[in-house]
Amino acid sequence: MLKKIILPTLCAITISCLPAYSRGRTAPPKDAAFLAMAAEADMTIAHIGQMAENRAATEKVKDFAKTVVQDHTNDYWEVTELATKTGDKIPKAINGQNERIIAGLDRSKGKAFDREFLNCQSAEHERLISAFKQEAEYGSNPAIKDYARKTLPTIERHLHDAQDLLKQRS
Quickly state the pLDDT bin for 123 (edges 50, 70, 90): very high
- The architecture of the domain spanning 27-169 is Up-down Bundle (1.20)
Structure confidence at residue 7 as a pLDDT band (50, 70, 90): very low
**pTM of this prediction?**
0.81
28 or 111, higher pLDDT: 111
In tens, the pLDDT along 29-70 reads 899 999 999 999 999 999 999 999 999 999 999 999 999 999
18 vs 124: CA distance, rounded Å: 38
Cα distance between residue 28 and residue 42, in whole Å: 21
Domains of the chain, residue spans: 27-169
SS (H, E, C) the chain: CHHHHHHHHHHHHHHHHHHHHHHHHCCCHHHHHHHHHHHHHHHHHHHHHHHHHHHCCCHHHHHHHHHHHHHHHHHHHHHHHHHHHHCCCCCCCCCHHHHHHHHHHHCCCHHHHHHHHHHHHHHHHHHHHHHHHHHHHHCCCHHHHHHHHHHHHHHHHHHHHHHHHHHHHC
pLDDT bucket at 99, cuts 50 / 70 / 90: confident
- Residue 14 above 80 pLDDT? no
